[in-house]
């Protein structure tokens, strides 16, 4: 286990290009693999999670190569995947396992998806239920956890209302819908990120997005595409918060995804009083823009349950901003954080408490009383990349040095995080 000592920084200043969005990268590889023809995806994120997705499709006969910053995927068509030689290891990538299950449910072969460490504790019942209704046969280990056995075959269309909004579950159902006879409809109570809908349509799927309800007609072939993946707003969130809380800071992040179902942090930070500016907006199949954040005082707010799907990955960074904001921040309906790589509610609570933050967790939500001076402390990543990056930013604005254990986990989504952070320190 690697540790890192972090000393307080005077400010953050500079312009950076962030690595490609992780969620979009996963989907580009998956859709490219089952499309017909070649897909050229510029900016696919190089990280542990996306590497496991690429390896999974290579194991099923898809040729994937890279030249410079462009990944080429030679698609095999909807039914062109081959049975892998053995179980497919997806590391700790819950996105890979849940979304890939939808594709594998419609194949003419059986598959076993396995995982490591935290992935063995991620619940799979949420995809087993809808895919089983479509005619797939899936079986997980006791308690609904990986490994996940999938017996592929003919699927039927369903009308499914999701009990809990989840982009991963929605994506699995929509991708399975490509193989189903008829029109599959998925309905959510709160709109989750729509990267899959956008990309399926871009690749040629017969898909209609009605907002909370999405419909896809089975049988339509997909065609390979050329696309550019914008920067990851989840990765940007740590620098946005760092620039906001360190006096005299100004950081500009170029070509970052501002997908409205994903960019809730922009609205949250603005409501808290942060100085956030958007420039050079482009409305490609995934909208992106430059984001600039300047330091300034912020205040606590109430974040409602309906906002959580659009900020689920940014919440650790928001916890840190709340700790440095004047007054009380209340976060409601964030239970999904408990089933990530770690229980992020507990990991953030323990670390922030070590730094002297008053934080309370109850059935009614999370309450953070901000404004006190944070002190340097011994911190723990708990093996979670987002907890680790969030606490690294908090340590920059603390009084005294901090040490974070387990920093190697950042390779899951942002291997160069600490190098980029160092480049901004002044």
Catalytic residue list:
313
For 16, the token pair is 């950076």
Conformational region of residue 98, where left means phi above 0, alpha means psi within -120 to 50, and beta covers everything else: alpha
For residues 33 and 268, the answer to whether their CB atoms sit within 8 Å is no
Closest Cα to residue 370, out of 244, 282, 263? 244
Chain Cα centroid distance, residue 160: 23
DSSP string, 60-121: TT-EEEEETTEEEEEEE-TT-----SSPEE-TT-HHHHHHHHHHHTTSSSEEEEE--GGGGG
**Token code pair at residue 207:** 């898909």
Which residues, 6+ apart, have CB-to-CB distance to 243 below 8 Å? 12, 249, 250, 251, 293, 294, 295
Give the orientation angle of helix 233-245 with respect to helix 417-424, to 10 degrees. Answer: 30
CA–CA dist 231, 237 (Å, integer): 11
Q: Which residues contact 283 (CB under 8 A, 6 or more apart)?
A: none
Structure tokens, 71: 């990944």
Determine the Cα–Cα distance for residues 174 and 190; give it in Å rounded to an integer. Answer: 17
CA distance 343 to 347: 6
Give the side-chain half-sphere CA count within 13 A for 325: 28
Q: CA 45 to CA 420: how far, in whole Å?
A: 15
Q: In sequence order, what are the residues at sequence separation of 6 or more whose Cβ sits closer than 8 angstroms to the Cβ of residue 95?
A: 22, 23, 26, 49, 53, 168
CB 379, CB 402: distance < 8 Å: yes
């Amino acid at each position: 286990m690697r540790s890192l000592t972090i000393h307080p920084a005077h400010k953050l200043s500079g312009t950076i290009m962030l690595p490609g969005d992780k969620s979009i990268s996963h989907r580009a590889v998956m859709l490219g693999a089952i499309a017909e023809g070649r897909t050229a995806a510029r900016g696919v994120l190089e990280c542990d999670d996306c590497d496991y997705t690429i390896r999974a499709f290579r194991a099923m006969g898809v040729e994937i190569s890279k030249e410079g910053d462009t990944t080429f995927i030679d698609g095999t068509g909807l039914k062109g995947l081959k049975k892998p030689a053995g179980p497919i290891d997806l590391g700790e990538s819950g996105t890979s396992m849940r979304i890939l299950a939808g594709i594998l449910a419609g194949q003419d072969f059986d598959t076993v998806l396995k995982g490591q460490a935290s992935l063995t504790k991620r619940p799979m019942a949420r995809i087993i239920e809808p895919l089983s209704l479509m005619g797939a046969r899936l079986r997980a280990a006791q308690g609904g956890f990986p490994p996940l056995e999938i017996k592929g075959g003919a699927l039927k269309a369903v009308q499914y209302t999701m009990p809990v909004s989840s982009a991963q579950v929605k994506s699995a159902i929509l991708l399975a819908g490509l193989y189903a006879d008829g029109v599959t409809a998925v309905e959510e109570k709160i709109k989750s990120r729509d990267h899959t809908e956008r990309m399926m349509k871009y690749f040629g799927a017969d898909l209609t997005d009605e907002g909370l309800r999405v419909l896809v007609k089975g049988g339509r072939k997909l065609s390979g595409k050329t696309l550019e993946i914008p920067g990851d707003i989840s990765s940007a969130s740590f620098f946005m918060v760092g620039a906001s809380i360190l006096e005299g800071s100004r950081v500009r992040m170029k070509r970052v995804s501002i997908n409205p179902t994903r960019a809730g942090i922009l609205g949250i930070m603005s409501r808290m009083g942060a100085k956030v500016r958007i420039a050079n907006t482009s409305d490609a199949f995934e909208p992106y823009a430059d984001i600039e954040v300047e330091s300034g005082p912020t205040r606590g707010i109430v974040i409602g349950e309906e906002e959580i799907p659009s900020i689920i990955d940014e919440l650790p960074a928001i916890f840190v901003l709340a700790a440095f904001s004047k007054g009380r921040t209340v976060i409601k309906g964030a239970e999904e954080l408990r089933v990530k790589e770690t229980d992020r509610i507990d990991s953030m609570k323990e670390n922030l408490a070590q730094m002297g933050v008053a934080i309370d967790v109850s059935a009614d939500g999370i309450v953070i009383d901000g404004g006190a001076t944070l002190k340097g402390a011994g911190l723990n990543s708990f093996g979670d990349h987002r907890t680790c990056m969030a606490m690294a930013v908090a340590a920059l604005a603390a009084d005294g040095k901090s040490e974070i254990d387990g920093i190697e986990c950042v390779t899951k989504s942002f291997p160069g995080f600490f190098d980029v952070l160092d480049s901004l320190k002044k």
